[in-house]
Each structure stands twice: as structure tokens, then as C-alpha cells.
Amino acid sequence: MNKIEHIGIAVNSLEKSIDVYQKLLNTDCYKTELVVSELVNTAFFKTGENKVELLEGTAPESAIAKFIEKKGEGIHHIAFAVDDILAEMERLKQEGFVLLNEQPKKGADNKMVCFVHPKDTNGVLIELCQEIKWI
Ligand SMILES: C[C@@H](C(=O)O)C(=O)SCCNC(=O)CCNC(=O)[C@H](O)C(C)(C)COP(=O)(O)OP(=O)(O)OC[C@H]1O[C@@H](n2cnc3c(N)ncnc32)[C@H](O)[C@@H]1OP(=O)(O)O
Ligand SMILES: [Co+2]
């Protein structure tokens, strides 16, 4: 795996939290993106090499809404950049990790993503992301 691609933070209100993180990081949110398939609305910030993703659930059954219901707002996942998501998924499967999706799925900010169950990773939800390259 390569660098940390982003840290995902679960928030109740994207609008309010964009304001907070703009002030905190002293930089503007560079993109908001609705990911209908994940039932999330997202906002992205860049700080140097790093990215922060704020996530608001768009329905009560969304992973973000369920997480906030149980644990409150806070860090929801850590995403790692990978060069070859299929190879990395296969490697992790061989190592015994439970993948939450069998096929890579469309994430935000031009990525294919796969999640690893937090029970296998000390309670931390892990996301793998491979950049989609357009030919
Ligand atoms: C747009 C995209 C992108 O960046 O491109 C994104 O990030 S989308 C980000 C949103 N999408 C996702 O998160 C998709 C992957 N997530 C999932 O499949 C799910 O949220 C699971 C992680 C499997 C949890 O779902 P499930 O329905 O089992 O929920 P649950 O509430 O019953 O939780 C089962 C157990 O997992 C724990 N749990 C739930 N979410 C957790 C999280 N984010 N980090 C650590 N632990 C977590 C719960 O506390 C509970 O622990 P106890 O059993 O001890 O009570
Ligand atoms: Co993410």
C-alpha cells in the first residue's frame, strides 16, 4: 500500500463542518461530491500531501448515519492509495481479511474503492483506493 490517501470523518452536517474545517485548515474545500451508491455526501480538503474527507449520511441506513448513531461524530475510516486494487484485494483475502465488497466500487474523487472490515483491523475501517485513469 502507498500513502494514506485520505482520512474520512463522519459529520452530522456537511454544511456546518465545511465551515469548521475551512477555518481549521485555513484552506477552502476543493470539492463536494454526492456518492449516491454509498448514501453519502462528501467534502474534500487538501493539506499539503494529505486529504480530509468529510462525510454526511443521506439516509438513516447509510454507513455514516449508523456510525454516528452508535459512536457519534468522528474519524470513520483511513483510506490508503494502492496501484492495483484487484491485486491488493486478492492479497488481503489470502491473508484472511474480510473485504466488505467483492468487486471494487466507485468512490468519490475519481477512485475505485474497497473496504476492509474493522473487526480484522483493530476496530479501524480501512478503505483501499485506486485512482481511475482515463485513457
Ligand atoms: C465515498 C467513499 C470514498 O472515500 O470514496 C467513502 O469513503 S464511503 C464511506 C461510507 N461507506 C462505508 O463505510 C462502506 C463500508 N462500511 C460498511 O460496510 C459498514 O459500515 C460496516 C463497517 C460493515 C458496518 O456495518 P454494519 O451494518 O455491520 O454496522 P453495525 O452498525 O452493525 O456495526 C458492526 C460493528 O462495526 C462497528 N463499526 C461500524 N462502522 C465502523 C467504523 N467506521 N469504524 C470502526 N468500527 C465500525 C460497529 O461499531 C459495530 O461494532 P460492535 O459489533 O462492536 O458494536
Ligand atoms: Co473515504
pLDDT tens digits for range 2-40: 899 999 999 999 999 999 999 999 999 999 999 999 999
Tell me which residue range forms the domain holding 58.
3-131
Total domains in the fold of the chain: 1
Encode pLDDT of 32-50 as tens digits: 999 999 999 999 999 999 9
- First-to-final CA distance of the chain: 24
Beta strands in the chain (DSSP E): 4-10, 31-35, 40-47, 50-57, 74-81, 105-106, 111-116, 125-131
CATH number at residue 42: 3.10.180.10
- Report residues near ion ligand 2: CB below 5 Å: 8, 53, 79, 127
35 lines ligand 1 (CB under 6 A): yes
Mutate which of 31, 37, 54, 66 for ligand 1 pocket (most atoms within 8 A of beta carbon):
66
Residue with cell 457519534: 72
Whole-angstrom distance, CA of residue 4 vs CA of residue 128: 9
ipTM of the complex: 0.96
